[in-house]
């Protein structure tokens, strides 16, 4: 109920206490000089579509709809059409096993795709809620990365771990990390590192190990402890 009231701005989150949200009345949280303009359907659709495509880079209508909920059904297609006319979106074809659907890309995303493919991206670990993998069907369809949180799966039925983090290296999803924090020992415990294909070379492993060290710093751990060796 609080979620529904929050969407209607009848209540809003004022702060967090640990992992718990504390709710309050909007007039006691939102500054008095905050913008209060009302957007019509087309202006709201433009704002939401712009933000969605910043996250996606390339997407079809089904993907876009997951990030533009509450947008008027008639306003969204005409906003997409206007963006194409203005050069803000470019029609593309996505390689899929399913039936082809209209798709679009931002000019910035296409420029990156056409840039020097030998340039290496940052090696990092993703949150399970990162835009790249948040839409599980999209990541499976476009990236061939089947991902789910297994915290609600019985322990004996888990394939990868309680809370795994996708691993990005050189513009690809190369694995997933199962780890936990031992707060008493101030250690990041690696329960398992699962590679998507065959075990990678030494350069990739070093880059991923550096990303794990960064994660340890982020969670306040002073050491990284291996519970299990990396697995395939």
Nearest 5°: CA angle at 210, between 206 and 215? 145
Q: Which residues fall within 8 angstroms of residue 203, CB to CB, at 6 or more apart? A: none
Mean pLDDT of 37-64: 93
Tokens 């500054």 map to which residue? 31
Taking the CA atoms of the chain, what radius of gyration do you get in angstroms? 21
Q: Which tokens is 17 given? A: 């206490």
Same domain assignment for residues 153 and 97? no
- pLDDT tens digits, residue range 165-221? 999 998 889 999 999 999 999 999 999 999 998 888 999 999 999 999 999 999 999
Would 69 be classed as within a structural domain? yes
Under 8 Å between Cβ of 76 and 89: no
Same domain assignment for residues 212 and 135? yes
First to last CA, the chain: 43
In this prediction, residue 229 has a pLDDT band, given cuts at 50, 70 and 90, of low
Residue 116 has pLDDT above 80, yes or no: no
Would 232 be classed as within a structural domain? no
Q: State the chain's mean pLDDT as an integer.
A: 90
Q: How many residues does the chain have?
A: 232
Quote the pLDDT of residue 117: 55
Q: Give dist(CA 216, CA 213) in Å, integer.
A: 5
Closest Cα partner for 12 from 62, 21, 54? 21
More confident residue, 77 or 230: 77
Same domain assignment for residues 97 and 154? no
Q: Give dist(CA 120, CA 132) in Å, integer.
A: 18
Same domain assignment for residues 32 and 46? no
Mean pLDDT of 79-92: 97
Would 129 be classed as within a structural domain? yes
Quote the pLDDT of residue 103: 93
Would 183 be classed as within a structural domain? yes
- pLDDT tens digits, residue range 3-42? 999 988 899 999 999 889 999 999 999 998 988 888 999 9
Report the range of poorest mean pLDDT among 47-51, 83-87, 141-145, 150-154. 141-145
Would 231 be classed as within a structural domain? no
Kindly report the CATH number assigned to the domain that includes residue 61.
1.10.10.10
Residue 119 has pLDDT above 80, yes or no: no
What is the extent of the structural domain holding 24?
1-36
Mean pLDDT of 33-58: 92
Quote the pLDDT of residue 164: 96
Same domain assignment for residues 153 and 188? yes
Q: Residue 55 forms beta bridges with which residues?
A: none
Same domain assignment for residues 190 and 102? no
Q: Give dist(CA 127, CA 219) in Å, integer.
A: 13
Residue 97 has pLDDT above 80, yes or no: no
DSSP 20-79: EEEEE-GGGTS-TTS--PPP-HHHHHHHHHHHHHHHHSEEEHHHHHHT-TTS-TTHHHHH
Same domain assignment for residues 150 and 221? yes
Q: Which residues fall within 8 angstroms of residue 53, CB to CB, at 6 or more apart? A: 59, 64, 89, 104, 106
Quote the pLDDT of residue 160: 94
Q: Which tokens is 2 given? A: 């609080």
**Number of domains composing the chain:** 3
Would 95 be classed as within a structural domain? yes
- SS3 of residue 190 by DSSP: strand
Mean pLDDT of 57-66: 91
- Residue 223 backbone phi and psi in degrees, to 5: -155, 160
Quote the pLDDT of residue 120: 56
Under 8 Å between Cβ of 79 and 46: yes
Would 167 be classed as within a structural domain? yes
Under 8 Å between Cβ of 120 and 170: yes
Tokens 């519970």 map to which residue? 227
Kindly report the CATH number assigned to the domain that includes residue 145.
3.40.630
């Amino acid at each position: 109920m609080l979620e529904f009231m929050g969407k209607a701005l009848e209540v809003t989150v004022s702060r967090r206490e640990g992992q718990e949200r504390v709710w309050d009345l909007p007039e006691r949280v939102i500054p008095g000089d905050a913008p209060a303009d009302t957007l019509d359907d087309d202006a709201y659709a433009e704002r939401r579509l712009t933000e969605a495509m910043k996250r996606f880079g390339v997407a079809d209508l089904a993907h876009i709809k997951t990030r533009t909920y509450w947008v008027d059904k008639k306003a969204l297609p005409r906003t997409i059409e206007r963006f194409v006319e203005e050069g803000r979106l470019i029609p593309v074809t996505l390689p899929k096993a399913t039936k082809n659907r209209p798709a679009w890309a931002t000019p910035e995303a296409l420029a990156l795709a056409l840039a020097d493919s030998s340039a290496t991206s940052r090696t990092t670990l993703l949150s399970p809620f990162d835009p790249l993998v948040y839409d599980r069907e999209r990541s499976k369809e476009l990236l061939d990365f089947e991902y789910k949180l297994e915290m609600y799966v019985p322990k004996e039925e888990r394939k990868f771990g309680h809370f795994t983090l996708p691993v990005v290296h050189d513009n690809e999803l190369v694995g997933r990390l199962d780890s936990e924090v031992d707060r008493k020992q101030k250690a990041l415990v690696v329960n398992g590192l699962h590679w998507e294909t065959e075990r990678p070379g030494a350069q990739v492993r070093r880059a991923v190990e550096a990303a794990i060290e960064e994660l340890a710093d982020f969670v306040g751990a002073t050491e990284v402890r291996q519970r299990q060796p990396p697995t395939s």
